[in-house]
Every structure is written in structure tokens, then in C-alpha cells.
Chains A and B, each alone.
Chain A
Amino acid sequence: MLLRLENIVVTRRGRALLDGVSLALEPGQLLALLGPNGAGKTTLLRVALGLLSPESGQAWLGERPLSGMSTRERAACVAWLPQHSASAEALRAVDVVASARYRFDEPFARAESAARAALSRVGVAAVAERALATLSGGERQRVALAGLLAQDAPILLVDEPANHLDPAQQIDVYRLLGELWQQGRSVVCVTHDVNLLRHLGAPNDVRVAGVANGKLAFECAFSDPRLAPELGALFGVQMRELTLGDARVLLPEPRA
């Protein structure tokens, strides 16, 4: 399945949120979207999910335009991990994950067993019966990932998956995401932190796209030497490239 955005324009109150962005996600690819706050990364995901119809331009899933598909058909292709989700504090984790199976026309018992399998797949089988309110931030994010898994779509759009997590949990989430990717799913991952991408497992296969002011600023491989200067320009900082052991780290510094 191929996700393709063509010349997307979205304006809100006279301001262009997206100003002619084109992007393609090949099957099995992982694309990291980086950019400053308000650059249009989340808006781009919302267009790709069909939550927002662009003023002009077209989003495609394979050969079909997104606007011509039903919500259920879209749900079969694309799953979303939102940056913020409404907190259904009193719901059990397994109920939350089971509801992600809505697109399947199946009895509830089957949805529930798929939900339990997804929870154990991401290592939180033990919290299935607990209410969301009682879970830690890291556990909640794993439950959300289990929902993504339960929806069983080939394309995953994840928005700042490691926000508000401690470093160990951040690495955990990126490793899990990397596993889902390596099993053959295509992933778009919005993030501020380029250094977390190396925990995805195969950093050399990761593509990075920079978004600024509603436009695509650059697109290159994670291993490309252009990445540091491009990111520096994108965020308005001096990006130093350091090598620590086998890891390449980008360190932002104030501009001289």
C-alpha cells in the first residue's frame, strides 16, 4: 500500500498551514517528519488520515483517492497514534484496545481476544483489566500502541510517540515502533528528537523529511551527511554531529 500526498494546500483563517506539500510513503518505508512547532506536521498527518480535507491537492491510498473512501475502508489502511488522546480514565485497557477493532465486523469476544493478544505483544498483558486512570504514562503509551496493532492496518501514522515519557520509556516505545516497522508496516513518525530514531533498529533505512512553514524543506536518508546542516537550518540552530561508539548523535547548539 502506497500513501501519496499531492500538492496539499490547507489554509485556516487566511494562514497557510500546508502550502503545496507532496510526499510519498513507499510500502515498508519509515519516514520521520521533523520540524519546529507549528510547521504543519500534525496537519499533514490529519490530511493523510482523512480528518481534514485539503483546499487543493489530493491524498491517495494506492490507486484510490482518500476522499472517495469510507471511514471503514480508510481504517483498514491507515492507523493513527495521536499526540493527545481524550482520556477515557474509567475504561479498562482491554476495552480501549478492543474498540480499535471496530473496522472488523466481528463478535465482541473475538475483538477482546485480539486486544489481549495485542497487549501482550507490547508487553503489558498484566494491565488489561485495569482502568486507564491507574496506568503510568509509559503503560498508557503501550496500550495506545496495542490499539494501533489491534487495528491491523499496513500504514501507521504516529505523532510524537515518546512525548512526556522518561528516557527508558522513550527508548522502549521507539524499539517497539521499530519492530512493527520491521514486520513490514509502513510508518510515518512525527518527532522533535532526531536522536530517538536510532532506536528504531535500522537507522540507515530511515528517511527524514523536514517541514517548515507548511512546506517540505528537505528529504534525505537518516545516514546522509546533509542531515545535520539541513536540520540546523530547519530549527534555526547549529547542529553538531558527534559520533559516540557506533552511534551518531546530533547536538543542537546556539548559532554563532
Chain B
Amino acid sequence: MRARPYLLAGAALLVATLSLWVGPSLSGAAGDFVLLQLRLPRLLVGALVGATLGISGAAFQAVFNNALATPSTVGTTAGATLGALLVLAFDASGGPFGVSLLTVAAFAGALFTTLLVSGLSASGRLSKNDVLLAGIAVTLAASALASGVQFASDARALVAAAQWSLGQLPQVGYRGVFLIAPFATTTLLGLLALGRPLQNLAMGEDLAQTQGVDVARLRFWVLLVASLGVAACVAWCGPIAFVGLIVPNLIRMLVGSSLRSLLPLSFLGGAAFLVVCDAVARVVLPGRELPVGVITAALGAPALVFLVSRAHRE
């Protein structure tokens, strides 16, 4: 049991690295370009995004003491979608520092909804279920606005919106890596630092409070720190479903729910899961690439059903 976390971590790293060689062979003149400018940056972005979604999912499930919480529970994804759709609908272009306006708008939307919900949670008067409800309400409101925007846009914008909302990892070069890495690192380090007080929440918020944890403040910081990374990921790649839900739950079944192993392993496991899904997405249809969001959902949904049925048998 003691060695299991290390075995899992090693396996995750190995699988992620091996996926570099999944796909058409790398021989020939273009081989180096494909490996270094297409596959490697794609793998790195996939790993960063999967890792961020994985550890954020684990942290949110601890904050809300609810195995069904996800990184989008507080409205992050819905806010990003709204921002992206606005840019697509108005056909706006440009953007600062060579980053597309779409990415900037998605990031701003994600941060706006997140700040709204985490600001509410900091008041301390709300229970964790109130915060969950606020997250759902903000998600619904943002989705409604997004539908309104879609209704008003033309066919080209609709197709672009549908593509964006499936999530994608293809890239050329390392811009995405450099953009996401600082946010992902903040999320990783921040959440690892908050692991101790988060663990106290498992026995109930009131008991944690009497053990010295300032629950409202903890909640605020976890939501903020996690959402920062998630917002960056969603802004760059679009929403990628199921990683933040499924990975922490799978890891919990393998190593138990102690956050000391659950948080770092959800980070590594999320990276491996998304990279593998992306490798599958590259090769499953010859000559065409599926959006990775389709694969995570296709693999994640049955796994979730399996988990739920197992939980009922126990």
C-alpha cells in the first residue's frame, strides 16, 4: 500500500512520455518538426491542462465534501464559454501580446464568474451547499447569456463556437505551454500548501473550524487558486469535460482519500489521463482528429457509471 502512490506516479509519467510516439512514424525530413514543434508542445499542454483539472477537481471535491464536484462547479467553464462566444459572435480579432482576443475574453469570463462565487463564499455566512448552489446559478446564468449570444450569431460563428466548446489540444510551437505553465504552477503549489487544512474538512466544517481552520477563508483561497489555473486552461483549450471529475475519483479508489497523496497524484494522474486521451484522439479515426473532449467524455462517462455502481455494492 505504501509503494502504490510511487508506482502510480511512475506509471503516469511513463505513459505520458510514451504517447509522443503514438501516431504516424517520425522518419523523414519532417520527423523532427513533427516531434519537437507539434507533438511535444501538444503533450506538454495536455499534461499541464490535465494536471490542473485533476488537482483542482480533487481540491473542489474536498472543499464541498462532494465526490461530484468538478473544477467547473463554481462557474469557471461557463464564464469562459460566454467570453469566447462573445468574441466569436462579434467576429472580433486582435488581442494583446500576440494572444488571441478569444483566449483573453475566455480567461476574463472564467475569472469573473469564479470571483463572483468565491467572493460570496468568503462571507462565511454561506454553507458549502449555498456556495454550490451559487455556482450552479452562475453557471446557468452564464449559459443562458451564451445561448442568447449564439442565437444572435451567424452560421460561421456557430460552427466555431461548437468546435471551441469541445476542447482541443493541437498546437504549433510552445506559446500555450508558456501561457499556461505559470497559472498551472500557481494552482499546484497553492493547492498543495492548502492540503493540510483541506483535510480537516473531511470530518465536517464545524469540527474543522474548532480545530483551528478558518473555513470561509480556506474556501475562498481554494476556489481562487484552483480557478486561476482552470481559467487559463479553459481559455487556451476550451472546456475539456470529465478529467476533473473522473481522475480524483479514480485515484481515491486506488490510494484512499488522504489528501497528502490524493492531491499530487490527481495532478500526475490528470496529466497522464489527458495525454493518453489525446493520443487516442489522434489515431482513432485514420486521417482525422477527434476533439479530445469527445474522448475524455467517452472514456470518462462509463468509468463514472462503473464507479457509482461499485459504490452502491459496497
A102 to B207, Cβ gap below 8 A?
no
Q: Is A79 an interface residue (CB 8 A)?
A: yes
Q: Is B204 an interface residue (CB 8 A)?
A: yes
Q: Is B206 an interface residue (CB 8 A)?
A: yes
Of B204, B212, B258, which is within 8 A of A92 by CB?
B258
Q: Is B260 an interface residue (CB 8 A)?
A: yes
| 24 pairs from A and B in contact (CB 8 Å cutoff) | A49-B210, A50-B209, A51-B206, A71-B209, A72-B214, A74-B210, A74-B212, A75-B210, A76-B212, A82-B207, A85-B207, A86-B65, A86-B203, A86-B204, A88-B203, A90-B256, A92-B256, A96-B203, A99-B211, A102-B213, A103-B211, A103-B212, A108-B196, A151-B211
Q: Give residues 228-242 of B contacting A (CB, 8 Å).
A: none
Residue of B nearest to A131 (CB): B256
A207 to B189, CA, bound (A): 50
A108 to B208, CA, bound (A): 17
Q: Is B197 an interface residue (CB 8 A)?
A: yes
Contacts of A78 in B (CB 8 A): 210
A82 to B202, Cβ gap below 8 A?
no
Q: Give residues 100-137 of A contacting B (CB, 8 Å).
A: 100, 102-103, 108, 131
Q: Give residues 23-42 of B contacting A (CB, 8 Å).
A: none
Q: Is A24 an interface residue (CB 8 A)?
A: no
Q: A51-B206, A86-B202, A95-B258 are in contact. List 12 more A-B contacts (CB 8 A).
A: A71-B209, A74-B212, A78-B210, A82-B207, A85-B204, A86-B65, A88-B203, A90-B252, A95-B260, A102-B208, A102-B212, A131-B256
Contacts of A85 in B (CB 8 A): 203-204, 207
A102 to B35, CA, bound (A): 47
Q: Is B171 an interface residue (CB 8 A)?
A: no
B258 to A91, Cβ gap below 8 A?
yes
Q: Give residues 52-80 of A contacting B (CB, 8 Å).
A: 70-72, 74-76, 78-80
- Interface size of B as a range: 20 to 34
Q: Is the interface of B mostly helix, strand, loop or mixed?
A: helix
Of B196, B204, B213, which is within 8 A of A71 by CB?
B213
* Contact A82-B204, Cβ < 8 Å, known A92-B258, A95-B258, A108-B196: yes
Task: Work out how many contacts link A and B, with CB atoms closer than 8 A.
Answer: 75
Contacts of B204 in A (CB 8 A): 82, 85-86
Chain B positions 269 through 307: 1 when the CB is less than 8 Å from some CB of chain A, otherwise 0: 000000000000000000000000000000000000000
Residue of A nearest to B215 (CB): A71
**Chain B nearest Cβ from A227, distance in angstroms:** 30
Contacts of A72 in B (CB 8 A): 212, 214
- The residue among B200, B210, B211, B212 with the most chain A CB atoms within 10 A of its own CB is B210
Size of A's binding interface in residues, CB under 8 A:
29
B211 to A100, Cβ gap below 8 A?
yes
Of B65, B211, B252, B260, which is within 8 A of A102 by CB?
B211
Q: Is B17 an interface residue (CB 8 A)?
A: no
A82 to B212, Cβ gap below 8 A?
no
A50 to B211, CA, bound (A): 11
A195 to B168, CA, bound (A): 68
A99 to B203, Cβ gap below 8 A?
yes
A52 to B255, CA, bound (A): 37
A49 to B204, CA, bound (A): 15
Contacts of A100 in B (CB 8 A): 211
* Contact A75-B211, Cβ < 8 Å, known A88-B202, A92-B258: yes
Residue of A nearest to B205 (CB): A86
Q: Is B199 an interface residue (CB 8 A)?
A: yes
Residue of B nearest to A98 (CB): B199
- The residue among B202, B208, B211 with the most chain A CB atoms within 10 A of its own CB is B211
* Contact A82-B209, Cβ < 8 Å, known A71-B214, A92-B258: no
Contacts of A102 in B (CB 8 A): 196-197, 200, 208, 211-213
Contacts of B256 in A (CB 8 A): 90-92, 131
A75 to B215, CA, bound (A): 13
A79 to B210, Cβ gap below 8 A?
yes
A235 to B5, CA, bound (A): 55
Contacts of B260 in A (CB 8 A): 95, 108
**Chain A nearest Cβ from B140, distance in angstroms:** 28
Chain A positions 136 through 169: 1 when the CB is less than 8 Å from some CB of chain B, otherwise 0: 0000000000000001000000000000000000
**Chain A nearest Cβ from B191, distance in angstroms:** 16
